[in-house]
Structure 1
Amino acid sequence: MSEPDLRRIEVWGLPVTVNDSLGLLTVSHGGAITWDQLQAIKNVVWGHDAQAIEVYPADCDVVNSGNYRHLWRLGPGDFCPDLLSFTPRRLPRPDGLQERCADAWREAERVFA
Protein backbone atom coordinates (compact mmCIF):
# COMPACT_ATOMS: atom_id res chain seq x y z
CA MET A 1 0.00 0.00 0.00
CA SER A 2 2.01 2.96 -1.21
CA GLU A 3 -0.33 5.56 -2.68
CA PRO A 4 -3.91 6.14 -1.51
CA ASP A 5 -6.40 4.72 -3.97
CA LEU A 6 -8.59 7.84 -4.23
CA ARG A 7 -11.56 8.37 -6.51
CA ARG A 8 -13.39 11.67 -6.75
CA ILE A 9 -16.92 11.46 -8.06
CA GLU A 10 -20.21 13.29 -7.80
CA VAL A 11 -23.26 11.48 -6.44
CA TRP A 12 -26.67 13.12 -6.16
CA GLY A 13 -25.00 16.49 -6.77
CA LEU A 14 -22.55 16.08 -3.87
CA PRO A 15 -18.76 15.72 -4.17
CA VAL A 16 -17.63 12.33 -2.89
CA THR A 17 -14.07 11.12 -2.30
CA VAL A 18 -13.57 7.36 -2.00
CA ASN A 19 -10.41 5.82 -0.56
CA ASP A 20 -10.75 2.20 -1.64
CA SER A 21 -7.61 1.16 0.26
CA LEU A 22 -9.11 2.26 3.57
CA GLY A 23 -12.74 1.66 2.70
CA LEU A 24 -13.47 5.32 3.46
CA LEU A 25 -16.12 7.41 1.73
CA THR A 26 -16.11 11.18 2.39
CA VAL A 27 -19.07 13.34 1.36
CA SER A 28 -18.74 17.11 1.18
CA HIS A 29 -22.06 18.86 1.76
CA GLY A 30 -23.50 22.28 2.52
CA GLY A 31 -24.38 21.55 6.13
CA ALA A 32 -27.50 19.44 5.72
CA ILE A 33 -27.46 15.88 4.47
CA THR A 34 -29.98 13.22 5.38
CA TRP A 35 -29.51 9.62 6.40
CA ASP A 36 -31.36 8.60 3.21
CA GLN A 37 -28.89 10.57 1.08
CA LEU A 38 -25.90 8.94 2.80
CA GLN A 39 -27.48 5.51 2.34
CA ALA A 40 -28.07 6.22 -1.36
CA ILE A 41 -24.47 7.41 -1.82
CA LYS A 42 -23.17 4.30 -0.04
CA ASN A 43 -25.29 2.16 -2.38
CA VAL A 44 -23.97 3.92 -5.49
CA VAL A 45 -20.34 3.65 -4.40
CA TRP A 46 -20.19 0.23 -2.73
CA GLY A 47 -23.47 -1.46 -3.62
CA HIS A 48 -26.68 -2.32 -1.81
CA ASP A 49 -25.18 -5.25 0.11
CA ALA A 50 -22.27 -3.28 1.59
CA GLN A 51 -22.37 -2.32 5.26
CA ALA A 52 -20.82 0.92 6.47
CA ILE A 53 -20.58 2.85 9.70
CA GLU A 54 -20.22 6.48 10.71
CA VAL A 55 -18.08 7.18 13.78
CA TYR A 56 -18.93 9.75 16.44
CA PRO A 57 -15.71 10.20 18.47
CA ALA A 58 -15.19 11.43 22.00
CA ASP A 59 -15.23 15.24 22.18
CA CYS A 60 -11.46 15.36 22.70
CA ASP A 61 -10.93 13.52 19.38
CA VAL A 62 -13.28 15.57 17.19
CA VAL A 63 -11.78 17.14 14.08
CA ASN A 64 -14.38 19.41 12.52
CA SER A 65 -12.75 21.27 9.67
CA GLY A 66 -15.72 21.46 7.31
CA ASN A 67 -19.05 20.00 6.29
CA TYR A 68 -17.96 16.43 5.70
CA ARG A 69 -19.50 13.07 6.52
CA HIS A 70 -17.39 9.92 6.57
CA LEU A 71 -18.59 6.36 6.05
CA TRP A 72 -16.31 3.40 6.75
CA ARG A 73 -17.04 0.22 4.76
CA LEU A 74 -17.17 -2.92 6.86
CA GLY A 75 -15.67 -6.17 5.64
CA PRO A 76 -17.64 -9.41 5.58
CA GLY A 77 -16.27 -10.49 8.98
CA ASP A 78 -16.61 -7.16 10.75
CA PHE A 79 -19.18 -6.87 13.51
CA CYS A 80 -22.10 -4.59 12.83
CA PRO A 81 -25.06 -4.30 15.19
CA ASP A 82 -28.27 -5.55 13.60
CA LEU A 83 -31.41 -3.83 14.81
CA LEU A 84 -33.61 -6.65 13.54
CA SER A 85 -31.89 -9.67 15.12
CA PHE A 86 -28.63 -10.97 16.52
CA THR A 87 -26.83 -13.74 14.71
CA PRO A 88 -23.23 -14.32 15.76
CA ARG A 89 -20.97 -14.47 12.71
CA ARG A 90 -17.65 -16.24 12.57
CA LEU A 91 -16.36 -15.37 9.14
CA PRO A 92 -12.81 -14.95 7.91
CA ARG A 93 -11.60 -11.36 8.01
CA PRO A 94 -9.76 -10.84 4.71
CA ASP A 95 -11.16 -7.35 4.20
CA GLY A 96 -11.92 -6.10 7.68
CA LEU A 97 -11.91 -2.46 8.77
CA GLN A 98 -9.38 -3.21 11.50
CA GLU A 99 -6.96 -4.77 9.01
CA ARG A 100 -7.29 -1.87 6.54
CA CYS A 101 -6.64 0.71 9.27
CA ALA A 102 -3.67 -1.26 10.62
CA ASP A 103 -2.22 -1.44 7.10
CA ALA A 104 -2.64 2.32 6.67
CA TRP A 105 -0.93 3.08 10.01
CA ARG A 106 1.96 0.70 9.23
CA GLU A 107 2.43 2.43 5.88
CA ALA A 108 2.29 5.91 7.46
CA GLU A 109 4.88 4.89 10.07
CA ARG A 110 7.13 3.56 7.30
CA VAL A 111 6.76 6.69 5.16
CA PHE A 112 7.22 9.20 7.97
CA ALA A 113 9.88 7.32 9.95
Structure 2
Amino acid sequence: MQHDYPDPVEMDAMGFAVMVDDRLGHLAVTHDGTITWDQLQAIKNLIWGVDARAIEVYPVQPSVVNNTQMRHLWRLGKDDFAPDLLGRYEAKQTLEQRFRSAWPDP
Protein backbone atom coordinates (compact mmCIF):
# COMPACT_ATOMS: atom_id res chain seq x y z
CA MET A 1 0.00 0.00 0.00
CA GLN A 2 1.35 3.40 -0.94
CA HIS A 3 0.69 6.39 1.27
CA ASP A 4 1.66 10.06 1.20
CA TYR A 5 2.59 10.56 4.82
CA PRO A 6 5.63 9.86 6.99
CA ASP A 7 6.50 6.34 8.08
CA PRO A 8 5.66 5.35 11.64
CA VAL A 9 8.01 6.64 14.34
CA GLU A 10 10.00 3.96 16.17
CA MET A 11 10.95 4.52 19.80
CA ASP A 12 11.47 2.87 23.15
CA ALA A 13 8.73 3.24 25.78
CA MET A 14 9.11 1.67 29.20
CA GLY A 15 11.64 -0.83 27.84
CA PHE A 16 9.44 -1.92 24.90
CA ALA A 17 10.03 -1.26 21.19
CA VAL A 18 7.13 0.85 19.97
CA MET A 19 6.02 2.01 16.53
CA VAL A 20 3.61 4.95 16.40
CA ASP A 21 1.61 6.03 13.37
CA ASP A 22 -0.27 9.13 14.51
CA ARG A 23 -2.02 9.59 11.18
CA LEU A 24 -3.64 6.16 11.45
CA GLY A 25 -3.84 6.28 15.23
CA HIS A 26 -1.91 3.01 15.46
CA LEU A 27 0.46 1.98 18.23
CA ALA A 28 2.39 -1.31 17.89
CA VAL A 29 4.27 -2.63 20.93
CA THR A 30 6.80 -5.45 20.58
CA HIS A 31 7.16 -7.54 23.74
CA ASP A 32 8.40 -10.86 25.09
CA GLY A 33 4.97 -12.34 25.78
CA THR A 34 4.62 -11.02 29.32
CA ILE A 35 3.33 -7.47 28.77
CA THR A 36 0.43 -6.60 31.04
CA TRP A 37 -2.69 -4.54 30.52
CA ASP A 38 -1.29 -1.96 32.96
CA GLN A 39 1.91 -1.66 30.92
CA LEU A 40 -0.05 -1.20 27.67
CA GLN A 41 -2.21 1.43 29.38
CA ALA A 42 0.90 3.26 30.62
CA ILE A 43 2.46 3.20 27.14
CA LYS A 44 -0.80 4.49 25.64
CA ASN A 45 -0.83 7.29 28.22
CA LEU A 46 2.83 8.11 27.56
CA ILE A 47 2.41 8.26 23.77
CA TRP A 48 -1.10 9.70 23.33
CA GLY A 49 -1.95 11.09 26.77
CA VAL A 50 -4.25 10.07 29.59
CA ASP A 51 -7.37 11.39 27.83
CA ALA A 52 -6.87 9.21 24.73
CA ARG A 53 -9.05 6.12 24.31
CA ALA A 54 -7.73 3.11 22.43
CA ILE A 55 -8.83 -0.41 21.57
CA GLU A 56 -7.36 -3.73 20.52
CA VAL A 57 -9.07 -5.60 17.69
CA TYR A 58 -9.63 -9.34 17.70
CA PRO A 59 -10.50 -10.25 14.09
CA VAL A 60 -12.36 -13.23 12.70
CA GLN A 61 -10.04 -16.24 12.67
CA PRO A 62 -9.28 -16.24 8.90
CA SER A 63 -8.00 -12.64 9.23
CA VAL A 64 -5.65 -13.27 12.18
CA VAL A 65 -1.99 -12.39 11.57
CA ASN A 66 0.05 -13.53 14.55
CA ASN A 67 3.64 -13.98 13.49
CA THR A 68 5.44 -11.99 16.20
CA GLN A 69 5.02 -10.94 19.83
CA MET A 70 3.32 -7.62 19.14
CA ARG A 71 0.22 -5.87 20.53
CA HIS A 72 -1.64 -3.26 18.50
CA LEU A 73 -3.65 -0.37 19.93
CA TRP A 74 -5.90 1.80 17.78
CA ARG A 75 -6.68 5.30 19.03
CA LEU A 76 -10.36 6.19 19.03
CA GLY A 77 -11.55 9.58 17.88
CA LYS A 78 -13.72 11.80 20.07
CA ASP A 79 -16.93 10.48 18.50
CA ASP A 80 -15.89 6.84 17.99
CA PHE A 81 -17.89 4.31 19.94
CA ALA A 82 -16.49 2.08 22.64
CA PRO A 83 -18.62 0.33 25.28
CA ASP A 84 -19.05 2.70 28.23
CA LEU A 85 -18.87 0.48 31.29
CA LEU A 86 -19.49 3.42 33.62
CA GLY A 87 -22.61 4.68 31.80
CA ARG A 88 -21.35 8.22 31.22
CA TYR A 89 -22.26 8.77 27.55
CA GLU A 90 -25.40 8.75 25.41
CA ALA A 91 -25.79 6.22 22.59
CA LYS A 92 -24.88 7.45 19.08
CA GLN A 93 -24.31 4.34 16.98
CA THR A 94 -25.91 0.99 16.28
CA LEU A 95 -23.29 -1.00 18.20
CA GLU A 96 -23.75 1.23 21.21
CA GLN A 97 -27.52 0.87 20.98
CA ARG A 98 -27.14 -2.91 21.00
CA PHE A 99 -24.75 -2.68 23.93
CA ARG A 100 -27.17 -0.54 25.94
CA SER A 101 -30.18 -2.74 25.16
CA ALA A 102 -28.19 -5.78 26.37
CA TRP A 103 -27.56 -4.05 29.73
CA PRO A 104 -30.79 -2.14 30.47
CA ASP A 105 -31.10 0.01 33.57
CA PRO A 106 -32.96 -1.70 36.44
Aligned to 1:49: 51
- Relative to its length, the structure with more helix (as a share) is 1
Q: CA deviation at 1:5?
A: 4.1
Q: CA deviation at 1:86?
A: 4.8
User: Which runs of 5 or more structure 1 residues have no equivalent in the other structure?
Assistant: 91-113
Aligned to 1:35: 37
Give me the TM-score of the superposition, normalised by structure 1.
Answer: 0.74
Q: Which aligned segments of 4 or more residues in structure 1 are displaced greater than 6 angstroms?
A: none
Aligned to 1:104: none
User: What is the CA–CA distance in structure 2 between the aligned matches of 1:51 and 1:34, rounded to whole Å?
Assistant: 17
The 3-state SS of whatever aligns with 1:60 is: helix
User: Which runs of 5 or more structure 2 residues have no equivalent in the other structure?
Assistant: 93-106
Q: CA deviation at 1:61?
A: 0.8
User: What is the CA–CA distance in structure 1 between the aligned matches of 2:89 and 2:7, rounded to whole Å?
Assistant: 33
Q: CA deviation at 1:65?
A: 1.1
User: What is the CA–CA distance in structure 2 between the aligned matches of 1:74 and 1:89, rounded to whole Å?
Assistant: 16
- Number of residue-to-residue matches in the alignment: 90
Letter paired with 1:75 = G
Q: Percent identity?
A: 54
User: What is the CA–CA distance in structure 1 between the aligned matches of 2:88 and 2:59, rounded to whole Å?
Assistant: 25
The 3-state SS of whatever aligns with 1:71 is: strand
Aligned to 2:101: none
Aligned to 1:74: 76
Report whether the alignment pairs 1:14 with 2:20.
no
